[in-house]
Each structure stands twice: as C-alpha cells, then as structure tokens.
Amino acid sequence: MSKADREFDIVVYGATGYTGRLVAEHFVREYGGKPAESSDAPKWAMAGRNRSKLEDVRTLIGAPEDTPLIVADADDPDSLNAMCESTRVVLTTVGPYQLYGDTLVEACARVGTDYADLCGEPAWMREQIDRHHDLATASGARICFSSGFDSIPFDLGVLMLQQHARETYGRPAPRVRGRVRAMQGTFSGGTAASLTATMKAAAKNPSIIRILSSPFGLTPGFEGPDQPSGMVPRYEDDLGKWAAPFIMAAINTKNVHRTNFLRGHPYGEDFRYDEMVLTSPGEAGKAAANAMAEMLKNPFGAKPPRPGEGPTEEERENGHYDVLFVGEMSPGEKAGETIRYGVKGKYDPGYGSTSRMLAETGMALLECDADGGIGTPGSFLGEALVERLREHAELSFEVES
C-alpha cells in the first residue's frame, strides 16, 4: 500500500500521557471542527497502551466520539509495526526515547512512515543515525527528531537569520549567537527522565561522552571549527547584559549544525554557533549569571518532575519565551555588521508550545517532498514549518532593527 492510500495521515502515539494529550488537543482545537473533505483537516488517530485510557482522554479533550483509537505498545513490536503501516506520519511523546524508541524508529524507517518526536537525547539520536539513516533514505521515511522547544525555535531561528543574511549581504553569517532573553515555564518530566537516562548510559559506555561533548556529535564524518563553549558567564557589550550557560544548548547546537550539514553547509563549513541566557547589566546581572551556571550542576533540584506530571492549564497559558539571534557578518571586527533576528512563543515552552510545535511538524511532513533519512525540522521542513508555526502555534519569527 502506498503512503497516500494509508488509513491515517497522523497518529499521535502516547496520547494518554501528559504531553501526548496536549498534542491531541491541538488537533481537536485547530482541525477538529473542519469537515473531513477539508484540504487541511488530517485523518488522525490516538494511540497508546491502554484502550480504556485512550477512551477517557478522547472524552476529556472533547475529540469526536469517532476519533480512531489504536492500541500499541513499545514492548509489542507487532503492534508498533501495524500502527506504522496504517499511517503516513507518527508523532511520538513516549520517552525517554533511548528506553522506548528503538523499535518505533526502526519500524518507521523500514515501512517509509514519517516520524517526529521531542527527543533531546543526542547519544541515542546519533545511534539511530548510524543504524537507520540509510534504511530511512531507501524507504523515503523522514525521521525528524527534536521537534519541540528543543530544538525548533533555535534550529529555525538560525535558518531564518541565515536566509535573511544571504538576501541582504549575499552570504551567510559565519558566527551566530543564540541568546534567550526571557523564558517562563517549567521543565517537563520527560526532559528530566531523559537526562537521567543519558547520564546512566554514559556511565556504562564512556564513548557516549564524546558525542555529548562535541557540537558535531550529530554530523558523522564532519568536524567543523572550534566552537564557543557558552559555559562561562560573560558580559556582552553589544547587548549590555551578562550571559549565562543555557541548559538546552548542548542539544540545540548539535541540531543546528546537523541542519547545516544535511543542507550542504549553506551557513558555511566554518560556521560557529553558541547559546546562552541573558540576565541583566551590572553586578546584579553578573551574580545572576554565576548563579545560573552553578544551577546547571543540579538543574532539577531535589525533586525533579516525573513523566506524566506537568503545569496547570493556567501555568501553561501564562508561559512564554523570547530568543534573540545575533548574526555577526564580520566576527572579531568591532564595527562589523550584525543581524538581529527574534523568535518568540506563547505558552509554557516545555508543554503548551512544545505540543503545538510537534503537531505542526506532523502537518508539515504531510506536505513535505524532501528525500528520506534521519534529519531535523530545519533540514526537512525549513520555512514551510515556520509558516505553519506562525499560523497555528502562535510563534513569531522576525528580523529586528
């Protein structure tokens, strides 16, 4: 059966979990009220381990009573294979992916089903690239990791800045700084669990540390120039603020470099990139930056969030984030030209906004004609996803003066 003839366009796998339910809610909110013949109304289904819980979630989120339900379990390869063969795209929130994702990625890569997840586990991602990139390329499956807050705003923010640089200067910016100006929200339980699983895996297999520590850990066969570490607080004269280490930089920078790699290095093979969090000017800003650097030693505190837990609806609605990208056209020159590009999002970044980003990645994959393989939102979807996020997920992408 060709992909076009499959029963479903999109299956949300993990719909009974906290984040999976939010992804399903997005389809109800954005597309559920449209007629079946509407060109942008996907045929979608909810999947999980327990049918009774799926029925409860379907009722809870106000999905139509005839919304299809699929029982599938990471411990039952046959159920995953059947699910993958029934749909054009699988969106999965079932993590940590290094514990529960292997069979699903292999199944999608084998049968040509597009796939997107919320993975921020670079060692596992590299393992999947090494194992299944060629298989996905042959089948036409587009395997799209990190399709949430890590790393869409950063991956696409750099891509859009570089597009503007080429249009304005005829060349890319050889150096870009990603700076989080504001963020209100909480870490997800899945993020905490993923970090814990990654640290345990690294303790058992020290070779993983090389991938975790390298900005080019996801670009096999390519090692670019030395990169700014972003791990030491510093004062940024042009922004007038102190900058502190950013916990998600270790995964975001790898995805930015993989997008550049897979697209044939449109940012240049000498491209340099880092991410940090801005605090404030003066001694107070310096103290805050140093405190944030210290917090990275134990980012989740004594009681990390657990998978399945999350903020209240009010907390999700009141969350937001604001990321600035500074493209240095002549790095090292005090009078060099710069480009400033901003990406802003409503809602809690780890839940409310992430669920919308994953859902719209799935929608963009339905319209994508890129070759198969294991890639990134930027490498597969680029500006097409930016437009969907502007229209359906309340993200803004714009050049700043």
Pairing of strands 69-71, 44-48: parallel
Percentage of the chain beyond pLDDT 90 is: 79
DSSP string covering 58-109: HHHTT--TT--EEE--TT-HHHHHHHHHTEEEEEE----HHHH-HHHHHHHH
> What confidence category does residue 198 fall into, taking pLDDT thresholds of 50, 70 and 90?
confident
The SS3 call for residue 114 is strand
> What confidence category does residue 1 fall into, taking pLDDT thresholds of 50, 70 and 90?
low
Structure tokens, 184: 């209100």
Rounded to 5°, angle at Cα 338 from 335 and 343: 155
* Gap between the terminal Cα atoms of the chain: 51
> What order do you get walking across the sheet with 320-328 strand by strand?
234-236, 241-245, 272-278, 175-184, 320-328, 338-346, 395-400
Pairing of strands 320-328, 338-346: antiparallel
**Cα 361 to Cα 257: distance, rounded to the nearest angstrom:** 19
Residue-wise over 30-54: b if at least 16 C-beta within 10 A, else e?
A: bbbeeeeeeeebbebbbbbbeeeeb
**Cα 286 to Cα 186: distance, rounded to the nearest angstrom:** 23
Rounded to 5°, angle at Cα 160 from 159 and 165: 95
pLDDT one-digit tens code per residue, 41-60: 899 999 999 999 999 999 99
**Cα 238 to Cα 236: distance, rounded to the nearest angstrom:** 6
pLDDT one-digit tens code per residue, 256-311: 999 999 999 999 999 999 999 999 999 999 999 999 888 877 766 656 667 667 78
- Give residue 35's pLDDT: 42
Phi-psi region of 5 (alpha: psi -120 to 50; beta: other; left: phi over 0): alpha
Cα–Cα distances (Å) from 401 to 34, 165, 201, 340, in that order, read 39, 14, 45, 7
Contacts of 354 (CB under 8 A, 6+ apart): 19, 118, 148, 149, 188
- Give residue 315's pLDDT: 86
- Give residue limits of the domains in the chain: 3-148+356-379, 152-348+391-400
- Give residue 301's pLDDT: 64
Q: Please give the CATH architecture assigned to the domain spanning 3-148+356-379.
A: 3-Layer(aba) Sandwich (3.40)
Specify the pTM. Answer: 0.94
Question: Which 8-state DSSP code applies to residue 151?
Answer: B
Structure tokens, 304: 């990390």
pLDDT one-digit tens code per residue, 59-92: 999 999 999 999 999 999 999 999 999 999 999 9
**Cα 28 to Cα 6: distance, rounded to the nearest angstrom:** 21
Choose among 71, 82, 118: nearest CA to 359.
Answer: 118
| Mean pLDDT on 144-169 | 97
**Cα 258 to Cα 256: distance, rounded to the nearest angstrom:** 5
Contacts of 320 (CB under 8 A, 6+ apart): 182, 183, 184, 185, 344, 345, 346, 347, 349
Q: Where are the alpha helices (DSSP H) in 115-228?
A: 122-139, 152-169, 189-204, 207-213
